[in-house]
Every structure is written in C-alpha cells, then in structure tokens.
Amino acid sequence: MRMYDLIEKKKLGQELSTEEIYHIIDGYTKGEIPDYQISALLMAIYFNGMNVRERYDLTMAMRDSGDILDLSSIDGVKIDKHSTGGVGDKVTLVLGPIIASIGVPVAKMSGRGLGHTGGTIDKLEAFPGFNAELADEQFIKQVNSIKIAVTGQSKNLAPADKKLYALRDVTATVDEISLITGSIMSKKLAAGTDAIVLDVTVGDGAFMKNKESALELAKSMVDIGKRANKKIAAVLTNMDEPLGFAVGNDLEVIEAIEALNGNGPEDLMTVVYELGSQMIVFSGIETDKTKAKELMKEAIASGKAFDKFVEFIDAQGGDSSFAKDTKKFKPASHIVPVNAETDGYVHAIKAEAIGLASMSLGGGRETFDDVIDMAVGIVLNKKVGDEIKKGEPICYIHANDQAKIAHAEEMIRNATVISPEKCNHMDLIIDIVE
C-alpha cells in the first residue's frame, strides 16, 4: 500500500483500516515512512478526526511498536495512575504509599517535568541516591515485596509515540483527541497493569482548558481501556489554581510528606481520596468508595502510609532520613513574600502563570536537558475563596538567584485576582467517567 493513498484517504475523511494503521505506525517507527508524509497525515487527522475503531487501532499499533511489560508474576490486581499534568501536582507521592500500605500493588511508570508542569521522577530524586531506572525484574520484585515501585519511562515502550509526539509538537497537531488518546493510552497499555485510574486535569494550568474537551478526552481514553479489557476510570479534577500550596520540587516533596503525616492541604487530599478510592475498588479489597476512603484515612492516621513511603524510598536506594526530617532539604537562599496590595477575597490564582513563575526561578525545564534547581519555587499562603488583608502575603517566593525574583513577583501579581466580593472555594472533582 502507498502512503500517498492513505494520506489522500484520510484527507477525504474516510476510515483507515486496521491493516493500514498498523502499516503506517510500523513503517514510521522503522524509519521507512518519512516525516513529511506523516506530517501530512497528522494534519488530515487533525481536521477529520478518527472514529472509535480507528482510535483503538492507532493506540494498539503504537503499543505494539515496542516492548510490552509482562507483570503477570505480580500478585493481585496491578494498578497504575496517570495524570494529564498540572501545577503543584504531587498526588503520586501521597497516593502511592497510601494505596500500597492497604495492600494494593502500585506498579507506576512516571515521567519528568517539562514546561510549567512538574514530574514525579524529578521529585523522587530529591532523595539522594534514589534510583528511578529499575530493571524489569527489579521493578516486579519490588512490587511483590512492598507493593509499590515507581520507575522512569526509559524502557522501549511505545517508541512510535515518542516519534509521533515530536512531530506533532512542531506541526501544531498536538491538541487532537484521537492523537492525545493514542499517545497516553499506548504507553499505559504497554506498561502491563490490570487497571488504570486517570486524573484528567481541567482548567488554566492543565492541557485541557475546559470541561467539554477534558470530558471528551476522558471518555475516549476510558473507551480504549475497556476495549483493551482493562479496568479503567477517569476523574476530572480542577487545575484552575495550583494543587496544594507548594509549587517546586523540594517544596512539593515536603508538602507530600506532611500530607502522609496527616497534615495535607484539603484540595490535595480531596483528589488523593477520590483517585485512591477508585484504585481500591478496582483491587477488590473494598467495593464501596466511601469505605475505601475510610481505609485511606486510617492508613494515614495509623502511620502505615508514611512508613510505606519510607520503605519505598529505601527500596529504591534513596536516603529516607530526608523524609523523617524535612529540615535536611537545603532551603533556597532567598524567601520573599509577595504581599497583597488591597483588602478583599482571592478570586483567582492562575495555575499556569504560577507554574511558569516557578520555572523562571529555575524550578522547571524548557527542554529535557535543562537542570532543575530543586530548592526554588512558590509556596501559596492563600487559595481561591480566602479572605486577604492588605500587606498579607499571597505567597512566598523561594529563589537562589536574587535577579530572578522581580520577574517572578510580576508574574504572580498578574496571575492573582483580589476582589471585594466574597467567592467560594473551588470544587476539585468536576466529573467521573467509568
């Protein structure tokens, strides 16, 4: 079959067959089909979309382009959690140990941060010596032994996605539902778990800016998961403001440790409990989500969740003494308040701008080669709905370069809306797709 004919077919809005989709993905992965032809196809898909069968075939062809992990030797229902990204998102650091302490196997593959969104692997590497590159045998052994392991996405999983995403990024075809679905779900299905819980973030700091597009993506991913015989659910969570108070690697790790010790921010814990209750129900340990949430709260109150976190850090070579004494994390050399210039109520703290402000301090990457300053970031003092007085801190900037503070402060002020009218705190759980 000729690639020219397949481009023409999709340009006219026609369906690509299963065989044709596999031919395209296989040929491109092997370098037999050039970028310029795939670019043309991506644009045709962008304008004409794919139906549910085509999306499934695209996802499976991308999954089959590389290795597929065999986790069958892990006892129990293996569960992975995936977030579409956000600002202040330290959910995995809190959720994973809680779920593992209850006896649910958490086999998690995570990535690094890029742009204004943080990465779980970067945060875990705040613990000196932490090994985020586990061999398959080590990964499986650890999940069987302590019920949790987190490894980076360095394996040859869905290599077609890596090539396609790089091309989508430079051809303005990133934001198309079929292509996003294939990208996320091909890697999740290749990771070999039995169940997947998706955190689909919605709002200013998220990839999906509105509920309608986020809901369409969630339904698409859940449909693919079910067609692949996986237990799967998607929770739409609010990312109009940062999650929790801390934004920045060490700062978020410290907040996660506080959460595991029972002092987590209400918004963070709301998301953790919702995602975790779904994971527990999938595991079969509990059938009622309300009771599942109680199990999670008991795990925190008893100290089991924090103990599991320490065990997990130790198992992957990290120095868990930092978890036991967070003062061991080296603080930034400058901690500067950004004070309110008027009385009122906080109506907005735009998440994306806060994430970009943290990145401007050195707390994020513009490219994967950039080195993160682990100590810098922003710690909010107020959340949307809170009352604030003139001169009271909106947040604190943590910086190691004094020259970067003024620009970060300007970004924060532009991201913050204070109004004399009262407003409500944000609803965190927007919708659930099962």
- Known catalytic residue: 187? yes
Beta bridge partners of 297: none
List strands edge to edge, sheet with 334-339. 246-247, 377-380, 393-399, 334-339
| Chain position carrying tokens 């809190």 | 94
Residue 23 annotated among the catalytic residues of the structure: no
Catalytic residue among 10, 81, 168, 365: 168
Give the whole-angstrom CA distance, residue 278 versus residue 81: 10
Active site residue 183: yes
Q: Which of 80, 122, 161, 199 is catalytic?
A: 161
Contacts for 247 with CB less than 8 Å, ≥ 6 apart? 87, 88, 118, 354, 355, 358, 363, 377, 378, 379, 380
Residue type, 122: D
**168 flagged as catalytic:** yes
Residue type, 353: A
334 labelled catalytic: no
Q: Which of 78, 82, 308, 382 is catalytic?
A: 82
Structure tokens that stand for 119 in this block:
């990465």
In SS3 terms, the chain reads as CCHHHHHHHHHCCCCCCHHHHHHHHHHHHCCCCCHHHHHHHHHHHHHHCCCHHHHHHHHHHHHCCCCCCCCCCCCCCCEEEEECCCCCCCHHHHHHHHHHHHCCCEEEEECCCECCECCHHHHHCCCCCCCCCCCHHHHHHHHHHHCEEEEECCCCCCHHHHHHHHHHHHCCCCCCHHHHHHHHHHHHHHCCCCEEEEEEEECCCCCECCHHHHHHHHHHHHHHHHHCCCEEEEEEEECCCCCCCEECHHHHHHHHHHHHHHHCCHHHHHHHHHHHHHHHHHHCCCCCHHHHHHHHHHHHHCCHHHHHHHHHHHHCCCCCHHHHCHHHCCCCCEEEEEECCCCEEEEEECHHHHHHHHHHHHHCCCCCCCCCCCCCEEEECCCCCCEECCCCEEEEEEECCHHHHHHHHHHHHHHEEEECCCCCCCCCEEEEEC
Query: Which of 347, 353, 10, 340 lies closest to 179 in space, CA to CA?
Result: 10
Query: Given 55, 90, 123, 187, which residue is catalytic?
Result: 187
Catalytic residue numbers, as ranges = 82, 161, 168, 183, 187
